[in-house]
Amino acid sequence: MNSKLTIRDFALVIALAAICGWFAVAAPQFLSARNLSLLMTELAITATLAMGMLLIILPGHIDLSVGSGVALLSGIATVFITNLGLPAPVGLAIGFVAGLVIWFMKGLLIVRERIPAFIVTLAGLLVYRGLFWLVIDNHTVPIVAGGQTNLYSLLSTYYLPPAAGYLVAIIVVVAAVVAGLKSRAARRAGGFEVEDGEASFLRLFIAAQAVFLFVIVTNQFRGIPLPALIFGAIAFAVYLLTQHTAFGRHLYAIGGNAEAAVVSGIPVQRVVVTAFAIMGGIVAITGFLLTSYTGNSTTDLGEWMELDAVAACVIGGVSLRGGRGTVLGVLFGALIMACLLNGMTLMAVTPEYKLIARGAVLMAAVWMDVRLNRA
């Protein structure tokens, strides 16, 4: 795969640095450990959804129903747990399985009946929202009785103890070093050009610093938030899926040239349906995290989240026509959106201007992309 850095990759980093720098000056509490921890949790929620969206956009589809899906699937879990008194793990499992099944069937509608994903998921956006209101009976349903905790509430209130946090950081860095060395050895064995040792070391060094910085900062405020860990695991899984499995290759091939994919013997329908089923699971997890963070299922939960997820992908360099995009790009896209939102909230920007600013950033990112591609 292409590992060369482009101007675009730097542009993302620069934009992110500029946004953070500006907020650091304009709203000093932006860099406080407490706020950064909060930011991590918020980022984890949208970025998790964006990872799922990546799997859908890579083969050239789109899913507009995820915002309503987030509400519906977590709402099902909430109602089972709070209203019907099932244990929290069982309720969550029901919501998760519902996500897999519903999205699997949606995938079938798209590939078998050839209804455009745009339409199927637009219908889903409306239908799921309606179903959600029926499920919660238009009430605000708490995820746990006041003052108590269960697995559901712990999802967003549990923090990894500092020592465990450092342990995680060490494991991640050691694994990255080992993987990096192995890949270099493999490339050398395959007779390929091996990246300059110093450059790889530098890159790994920066990444390791980022990991430890992250742990140090979060440890100053309770520790690594659980949503950040869950997001990390999902992002890593999606990375493996897209870069190290045949399934991932097939996603890129379908998005890059669907007709050639068929003739190359790729089971296009199966791949796309699988991508949608995975998306269903990710939507459920996102819903649990968001509802846990909010504390209850309310009627407007998850509204417009589909657009945040698509925006994170697009800003991160994912082509809406399919075939192009990476996990790292989407992570940066989600970071930019999350920082922007968080910083504006700290500066007490009113919702009107928040919307306008987010739209403008999305527009600017795509415009830049088009310009760079043309050049």
Partner 1 sequence: MVILSAHNITKIFPGVVALRDVNFDLRESEIHALCGENGAGKSTLIKLLSGIHPHGSYEGRFEVKGVEAKFCGIADAGRSGISVIYQELALVDEMTVAENIFLGREPKRFGGFIDWPRIYREAKALLDRFQVTLDPAAPVRTLGVGQKQLVEIVKALAKDSRILILDEPTAALAEHEVLILLDILRDLRKRGIACIYISHKLDEVLAIADRVTVLRDGTSIITKNAADTSKAEIIKHMVGREIADLFPRRASEPGDVVLHVSDLSVAAEGSSEALLQRISFELRAGEVLGIGGLMGAGRTELLMHLFGAWGRRLAGKVTLRGKALPPGPPSRLIQEGVVLASEDRRRYGLVLEHDVGFNLSLSSLDQFSRGGFLNRNRETRRNREFFDSLRVKATGLEAVAGKLSGGNQQKVVLGKALMTEPRVILLDEPTRGIDVGAKLEIYEIINRLTAEGKAVILVSSELPELIGMSDRILMLHEGCIGGKFTRAEATQEKLMAAAMGQQHVELT
Instruction: Work out the angle between the directed axes of helices 351-374 and 7-26 (0-180°, nearest 10).
Output: 160
Q: Footprint of partner 1 on residues 301-340 (CB under 8 A)? A: 323-324
- Of 184, 203, 249, 354, the one binding partner 1 (CB under 8 A) is 249
Nearer to partner 1, 262 or 357 (CB): 262
How far apart, in Å, are the Cα atoms of 303 and each of 66, 72, 128, 341? Answer: 9, 11, 11, 15
Provide, rounded to whole angstroms, the least separation between the CB of residue 272 and partner 1: 13
As a whole number of angstroms, the distance between CA 63 and CA 310 comes to 9
- Of 132, 252, 276, 288, the one binding partner 1 (CB under 8 A) is 252
Nearer to partner 1, 154 or 258 (CB): 258
Query: Looking at the DSSP assignment, which residues form a beta bridge with residue 225?
Result: 159
Matching residue, tokens 């984890």:
44
**How many residues sit in the footprint of partner 1 (CB under 8 A)?**
30
Q: Which residues contact 343 (CB under 8 A, 6 or more apart)?
A: 19, 20, 22, 23, 26, 27, 30
Query: Amino acid identity, residue 39?
Result: L
Of 124-132, 184-192, 287-295, 360-368: span binding partner 1 (CB under 8 A): 184-192
Provide, rounded to whole angstroms, the least separation between the CB of residue 244 and partner 1: 5
- Per rule CB under 8 A, is residue 240 in the interface with partner 1? yes
- Of 1, 145, 348, 375, the one binding partner 1 (CB under 8 A) is 1
- Per rule CB under 8 A, is residue 200 in the interface with partner 1? no
- Of 257, 298, 299, 345, the one binding partner 1 (CB under 8 A) is 257
- Cβ-contact 260, 253 below 8 angstroms: yes
4: exposed, middle or buried (C-beta count within 10 Å: 0-12, 13-18, 19+)?
Answer: exposed
As a whole number of angstroms, the distance between CA 295 and CA 72 comes to 15
As a whole number of angstroms, the distance between CA 153 and CA 295 comes to 7
Of 141-149, 200-208, 219-227, 250-258: span binding partner 1 (CB under 8 A): 250-258
- Letters for 35-54 (x = contact with partner 1 by CB under 8 A, - = none) are --------------------
- Of 88, 230, 266, 340, the one binding partner 1 (CB under 8 A) is 266
- CB atoms under 10 Å from CB of 203, counted, come to 14
- Per rule CB under 8 A, is residue 261 in the interface with partner 1? yes
- Of 264, 304, 353, 372, the one binding partner 1 (CB under 8 A) is 264
Per-residue tokens: 344 = 């504006």
- Per rule CB under 8 A, is residue 372 in the interface with partner 1? no
- Per rule CB under 8 A, is residue 267 in the interface with partner 1? yes
Nearer to partner 1, 34 or 244 (CB): 244
Nearer to partner 1, 232 or 323 (CB): 323
As a whole number of angstroms, the distance between CA 50 and CA 235 comes to 10
- Per rule CB under 8 A, is residue 95 in the interface with partner 1? no
- Cβ-contact 34, 217 below 8 angstroms: no
Between strands 141-142 and 159-160, the pairing is: unpaired
Per-residue tokens: 178 = 């080992």
- Of 146, 191, 197, 351, the one binding partner 1 (CB under 8 A) is 191
**Residue ranges in contact with partner 1 by CB under 8 A:** 1-2, 183, 186, 189-192, 240, 244-247, 249-250, 252-253, 256-257, 259-267, 323-324
